[in-house]
Structures are given as structure tokens and as C-alpha cells.
Amino acid sequence: VDWKRSGDYEDIIYETGEGIAKITINRPERRNAFRPTTLFELRAAFEAARDDGEVGVIILTGAGTEAFCSGGDQKIRGDDGYVGPDGIGRLNVLDLQIQIRRLPKPVVAMVAGYAVGGGHVLHVCCDLTIAADNAVFGQTGPKVGSFDGGYGAWLLAETVGLKKAREIWYLCRFYNAAEAEAMGLVNKVVPLAELEAETVQWCREMLDKSPLALRMLKGAINAVSDGAAGMQQFAGDATLLYYMSEEAQEGRDAFKEKRRPDFSRFPRRP
């Protein structure tokens, strides 16, 4: 892909090409750990990708080959969260997790090296994960005085099963790519040198498909586990489809033309 870089970011790289947006966490010297600035920028980049009508699929990855993301930056962790230049402690990765879940386009985690701690949760939140053979997965919270009881816990359990999720969190072991594939944590493992080509191939296959069908499927699959918030998203998609129908447009047109709406030509389906 001939990636075109855009945006003025400090901690991330935002690129687009061939209908794909690639968002790269760019703090390799800290194994791509995130700080508040990283997350503000990731949120802006995901928003840009959502709004861009040319973009159908999004890749989330980390710079270099050592890490996808090592979670919250422990060196700037204060007593009530991760502290940025404004001196305020934040856990703003939770907002990013929700944004990835709600974004109506597939998000693919492209993982080389470590996906651990809050970085592991990010890949769990992505729709698909393609891993290099050097990938390492795991949670570290109980070792460093942290935990993610939201998506990090129950979405992980939904993905790998309750017993395995408890093992991952309680023991804080690391798992290699083959082990992750065996437990259904990743979709495909490839040699490191083929990681981007393989991920792009998966993106191209999705780009060939009906965007509305993919949108509805993402919403439907997430609605089951996101409860009322998931239903709200799915209901919004139902409204979108309804707005696109002549039946809904008759209501709108009648209002604008100051006449009674005529819905008589629309069937009352069984």
C-alpha cells in the first residue's frame, strides 16, 4: 500500500491508502506504552477514520517489531491515573476501547511483539487480530497494581472462555503467538516479515464486501455483550436503514411539503 501520512501527531502516525486507515502507536522506546496524549491522539485518528468516506477498514498497530502496545505508561502513572502535561490523572484508554467497539467499520489489530497489559485489552477490543510469529500476549495488571474489569475481563472471557480468562489475569503469564491462536485470541499467525501484507490482504477482502452488511454485523455481534449500549448502537443502525427507505422519506417529505403523509403504498408485512 502506498500509505499517505496526514495529521500533526506526536505519539502516533496516521496513514491512509486503498480504503484502509493505518493507526500506529509510535513510542517504541517504551514498547509503545500509552500516555494521555497518545490516547487523545488515537481518539482523534479513529474519529478521522470513521468520518472518512474513503476508509472502510482500520488497522491498529505499534511502531517497530518489539511491541504492539505495552499498556499504560507506568513511568507517568500518578496516584489516580496516567498524568499528562495538564497534571490530571486519567484512564482515558477506556474511552478508546468504547470508540473501537462503536466504530461502524472493522478494526484489525496488527500485532508484532508484545501486546500486554492495557495493550492486550486494545487488541481484544479490535474486531480481528493478525499476529506475527514473534507476538506475545498477556495481562500484567495484578503484578503492577492495576486491572481492567471491563472489556479487559469479560470481553476476554467471551473470546477465550472463562477458565482461560481467569488464568490469564490471575497468573499474569505471557503466551506466544501459537498459544494465542490455539485459544482463539488471534485470527491468524504469520512470519513477522509477512505481517503487514497478510493484514492488508484481510482488509482488502473486507473492502470487497458490502459496507452496510459489515456495519450491521459488527453492531449485532457487539450488541449481545454490550447490553443496552450495544442495543442503542444497533438501534441507531436500524434507524439509518429506515431513513434510507422511501417509507421514511415520505414522512420527511410530507412534513416539508405541509401535507398529510401518505403511507398507503407501503406494505404491512406479515
Going by the annotation, the residues of the binding site are 31, 70-74, 82, 114-118, 139-141, 146, 243, 258
Identify the residue among 4, 51, 75, 268 touching ligand 2NE (CB under 6 A). Answer: 75
Nearer to ligand 2NE, 67 or 186 (CB): 67
Whole-angstrom distance, CA of residue 4 vs CA of residue 105: 20
Nearer to ligand 2NE, 19 or 71 (CB): 71
Distances (CA, A) of 237 to 51, 104, 220: 16, 9, 10
Which class for 185: exposed (0-12), middle (13-18), buried (19 or more C-beta within 10 A)? buried
Element (H, E) at 46: helix 36-51
Half-sphere exposure of residue 84: CA atoms within 13 angstroms, side-chain side: 13
Comparing CA positions, the residue from 70, 92, 71 lying closest to residue 81 is: 92
Give the β-pairing of 67-69 and 57-62: unpaired
Q: Does 19 bind ligand 2NE (CB under 6 A)?
A: no
Nearer to ligand 2NE, 21 or 39 (CB): 39
Identify the residue among 88, 144, 220, 235 touching ligand 2NE (CB under 6 A). Answer: 144
Q: Of 44-73, which residues contact ligand 2NE (CB under 6 A)?
A: 67, 70-73
Nearer to ligand 2NE, 172 or 229 (CB): 172
Q: Of 83-122, which residues contact ligand 2NE (CB under 6 A)?
A: 91, 93, 114, 116-118
Binding residues (CB under 6 A) for ligand 2NE: these are 30-31, 33, 67, 70-75, 91, 93, 114, 116-118, 140-141, 144, 146-148
